């Protein structure tokens, strides 16, 4: 984009007319680029250092996210602001300058309001550029519009990349620390972490006993493990409070679904033959490790780990 703005007009000595032609083409191109950047919110990506930190969001944000499950006031403001911003460029594309002016004012107001909602983030906003954007639209100055929207776009993407993950970890993910799981063997509720240790322990015992040719003990561990996996199914709804209503699929079909229980059943059947196959056994255990433990960890563990780190810091 800078290139486009800085290029000097090309003129051809033999065909003076081409000056106009090139100028026309370039203005049109500039127009198209500015509009595209605006409508599709193609923000220039800021760079962060490789030791990028996921820090907790500022405390003053808590009040906007006081109602879990509801759209927060902050997010509502963002949506309003984002819509006004896109509307500027859609209007410009249709050459409706009046509408563009109106939306630039909407945008300026909502951007200004957002900048005051979280004092710790005030510096992240570029109110000067937002004012320039409005002024440039008033004077139909495409170059000015391009420059101002580039600066504004940087503020959007910088803040989003830096802070969205933190906001999601803090306000969208319930903490595993508030959850108790019923251990079917000890018949008591234990912490999520302790339950994971026990689940892991019973899975390992299945394999260790099998390797030592102690099929009877392996069978017992298999029963214990099956009970624990079934107990884990009742935990999902503590966070997944609203099930998918438009689909017959339930979250419980993943990680703790019928396929896992069937695999455990297959191991048992093979044990019952009296001569279980090592190859089949390993294949089945591998399935459980990957499709239950690993996949669920890939989805749920990073957040839990970040929340844990934040808690230790405080």
Q: List residues binding ligand HEC (CB under 6 A).
A: 41, 72, 74-75, 78-79, 81-82, 85, 111, 121, 124-125, 152, 155-156, 159-160, 163-164, 167, 172-174, 176, 179, 192-193, 196-197, 199-200, 203, 232-233, 235-236, 238-240, 251-252, 254-256, 292-293, 296-297, 299-301, 304, 308
Least separation in angstroms between residue 241's CB and ligand HEC is 9
- Which residues, listed in sequence order, are joined to residue 191 by a DSSP beta bridge? 180
Least separation in angstroms between residue 252's CB and ligand HEC is 5
Report the candidate in 38, 148, 12 with the shortest Cα–Cα distance to residue 91: 38
- Which residues, listed in sequence order, are joined to residue 181 by a DSSP beta bridge? 190
Which is closer to ligand HEC, CB of 22 or CB of 293?
293
Q: How far apart are CA 71 and CA 173, in angstroms?
A: 14
Least separation in angstroms between residue 94's CB and ligand HEC is 20
Pull the structure tokens for residue 138. Answer: 């008033």
Least separation in angstroms between residue 267's CB and ligand HEC is 13
Least separation in angstroms between residue 188's CB and ligand HEC is 19
Which is closer to ligand HEC, CB of 25 or CB of 294?
294
Q: Is 288 helix (H, G, I), strand (E, B) or coil?
A: helix
Query: Using N-to-C axis directions, what is the helix angle for 97-117 and 127-138, rounded to 10°?
Result: 170
Which is closer to ligand HEC, CB of 8 or CB of 242?
242
- Which residues, listed in sequence order, are joined to residue 140 by a DSSP beta bridge? none
Which is closer to ligand HEC, CB of 18 or CB of 296?
296
- Which residues, listed in sequence order, are joined to residue 180 by a DSSP beta bridge? 191
Which is closer to ligand HEC, CB of 26 or CB of 268?
268
Instruction: Tell me how far CA of residue 226 lies from CA of 198, 245, 312, in angstroms.
Output: 12, 28, 33
* Alpha-carbon dihedral angle through residues 308, 312, 313, 314, given to the nearest 10 degrees: 110
Which is closer to ligand HEC, CB of 189 or CB of 197?
197
**CB 292, CB 257: distance < 8 Å:** no
The residue with tokens 């989003």 is 160
First and final C-alpha spacing in the chain? 44
Least separation in angstroms between residue 268's CB and ligand HEC is 16
Which is closer to ligand HEC, CB of 29 or CB of 299?
299
The residue with tokens 């509720």 is 189
Which is closer to ligand HEC, CB of 81 or CB of 224?
81
Q: Can you list the positions of beta strands (E) in 186-285?
A: 188-191
CA angle 290, 292, 296 (to 5 degrees): 100
Least separation in angstroms between residue 269's CB and ligand HEC is 20
Least separation in angstroms between residue 51's CB and ligand HEC is 21
């Amino acid at each position: 984009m800078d290139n486009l703005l800085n290029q000097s007009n090309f003129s051809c000595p033999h065909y003076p007319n081409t000056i106009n032609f090139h100028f026309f083409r370039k203005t049109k191109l500039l127009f198209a680029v500015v509009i595209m950047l605006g409508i599709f919110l193609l923000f220039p990506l800021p760079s962060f250092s490789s030791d990028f930190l996921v820090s907790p969001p500022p405390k003053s944000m808590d009040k906007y996210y006081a109602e879990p499950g509801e759209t927060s006031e902050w997010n509502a403001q963002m949506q309003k602001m984002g819509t006004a911003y896109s509307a500027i460029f859609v209007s410009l594309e249709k050459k409706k300058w009046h509408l563009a002016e109106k939306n630039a004012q909407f945008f300026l107001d909502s951007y200004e309001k957002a900048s005051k909602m979280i004092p710790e983030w005030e510096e992240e906003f570029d109110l000067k550029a937002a004012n320039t954007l409005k002024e440039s639209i008033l004077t139909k100055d495409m170059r000015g519009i391009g420059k101002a929207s580039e600066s504004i776009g940087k503020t959007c993407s910088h803040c989003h990349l830096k802070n969205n993950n933190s906001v999601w970890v803090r306000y969208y993910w319930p903490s595993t620390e508030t959850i108790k799981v019923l251990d079917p063997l000890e018949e008591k509720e234990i912490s999520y972490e302790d339950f994971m240790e026990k689940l892991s322990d019973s899975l390992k015992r299945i394999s260790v006993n099998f390797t030592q040719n102690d099929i009877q003990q392996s069978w017992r561990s298999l029963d214990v493990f099956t009970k624990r996996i079934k107990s884990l199914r009742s935990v999902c709804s503590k966070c997944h409070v609203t099930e998918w209503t438009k689909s017959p699929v339930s979250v419980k079909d993943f990680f703790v679904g019928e396929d896992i229980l069937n695999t455990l059943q297959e191991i048992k059947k093979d044990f019952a033959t009296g001569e279980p196959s090592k190859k089949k056994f390993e294949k089945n255990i591998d399935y459980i490790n990957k499709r239950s433990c690993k996949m669920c960890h890939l989805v749920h563990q990073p957040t839990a780990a970040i929340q844990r780190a934040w808690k230790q810091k405080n």
